[in-house]
């Protein structure tokens, strides 16, 4: 079973548009926070302190539902695939508590992203 890293997200006022929704660019930043948390907890000093660097080679996102200012959210990050020169992360953002009327669920999947990462210098002639 793959390890799942859970990252709590603190929204900022600047993340919210005039309709009280979180901007899609901010949602991408939430995934970036989840990736950084993954690096700290799983890859540790190999990436953070060493000479190796990881770059994001590709991303794909799907947004299922708007995130609102009052929503408490978190991002989960796990490894979906390990290749010869890359790893693919799968991330989801979730609403921790659904406060809207008519929704009795404790947790709701709001969107997801896949990120293919590779060490810098791999495949770029270095």
Three-class SS of the chain: CCCCEEEEECCCHHHECCCCEECHHHHHHHHHHHHHHHHHHHHCHHHHCCCCCEEEEEEEEEECCCCECCCEEEEEEEEEEECCCCEEEEEEEEEEECCCCCCCCCCEEEEEEEEEEEECCCCCCC
pTM more than 0.85: no
Q: Which residue has the tokens 């190999």?
A: 46
Q: Which residue has the tokens 């210098």?
A: 121
pLDDT above 50 (res 53): yes
Where b means 16+ CB within 10 Å and e means fewer, 101-116 reads: eeeeeeebebbbbbbb
Q: What is the length of the chain?
A: 126
- Predicted local confidence at residue 69, as pLDDT: 86
Confidence of residue 106 (pLDDT cuts 50, 70, 90): very low
Residues 118-125: what's their mean pLDDT? Answer: 54
pLDDT above 90 (res 9): yes
Residues forming a β-bridge with 115: 59, 89
- Predicted local confidence at residue 33, as pLDDT: 92
Confidence of residue 77 (pLDDT cuts 50, 70, 90): very high
Asked whether the beta carbons of 66 and 22 are under 8 A apart, the reply is yes
């Amino acid at each position: 079973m793959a390890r799942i890293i859970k990252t709590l997200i603190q929204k900022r006022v600047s993340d919210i548009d005039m309709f009280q929704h979180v901007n899609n660019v901010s949602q991408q930043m939430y995934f970036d926070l989840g990736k950084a948390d993954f690096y700290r907890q799983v890859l540790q000093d190999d990436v953070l302190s060493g000479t190796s660097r990881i770059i994001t080679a590709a991303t794909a996102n799907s947004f299922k539902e708007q995130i609102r200012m009052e929503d408490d959210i978190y991002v989960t990050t796990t490894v979906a695939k390990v290749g010869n020169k890359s790893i693919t992360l799968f991330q989801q953002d979730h609403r921790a508590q659904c406060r809207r009327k008519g929704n009795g669920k404790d947790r709701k999947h709001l969107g997801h992203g896949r990120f293919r990462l590779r060490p810098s210098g791999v495949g770029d002639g270095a």
